[in-house]
Structure 1
Amino acid sequence: MTHEEPAALLRGLRPGVRVVVRYRIDGGFTDALGTLSDVGTDGCTVSTRRGEVLIAYPLVTAAKTVPPAPPRRAARTRPL
């Protein structure tokens, strides 16, 4: 896989698709898992549980679509 392929995949997706994106940060790599909310000319935005993550395409090292998140479990209740 060339460096350009993951960014090309992201550029070709429509917002609303669930993705995981691995990208470079100072000191290593990190992942953003969430919904692709914007696809721009210089980068994309992923909406994660922790908020919006803007990722510049040159920093992307891997990307793929992933299935929808499983439904959250109901809160546990304590017996009386």
Structure 2
Amino acid sequence: MSPPIPPQQQFLSDAPLGTRVVVRYRIEDGLTDALGELVGRGDGDCTVRTRRSDVVIPLALVVAAKEVPPAPPRRNPKHP
């Protein structure tokens, strides 16, 4: 019998593509977050489209993940 899938990995496996998520995962020096749209899933990883780029995250490194509300609309820049 295989070990149970951690809830954060299960969430990322089950969430519909296009869901806005925040994913906390391990990196060499600690932890980091990716905030954006879940745009892909592969064998053992997921892809989150952030403002800067697509981030491929190995599911084994994920320590937390959840759905977040849509981003607020951008405000117009203030003019001096």
Same-fold call, TM cutoff 0.5: yes
Name the % identity. Answer: 51
* Ranges of 4+ aligned residues in structure 1 off by more than 6 Å: none
- RMSD value, Cα: 1.4
C-alpha distance in 2, partners of 1:31/1:3? 21
C-alpha distance in 2, partners of 1:44/1:31? 13
- 1:50 is the counterpart of 2:39: no
User: How many pairs were matched up?
Assistant: 77
Contact 1:20 1:64 in 2 (8 A): yes
Q: Which runs of 5+ in 1 are unaligned?
A: none
Q: How high is the TM-score relative to the length of structure 2? A: 0.89
Q: Which runs of 5+ in 2 are unaligned?
A: none
Residues 21 and 46 of structure 1: CA distance in aligned 2, closer, same or farther (over 3 Å) = same
- Which residue in 2 is equivalent to 1:31? 33
Q: How high is the TM-score relative to the length of structure 1? A: 0.89
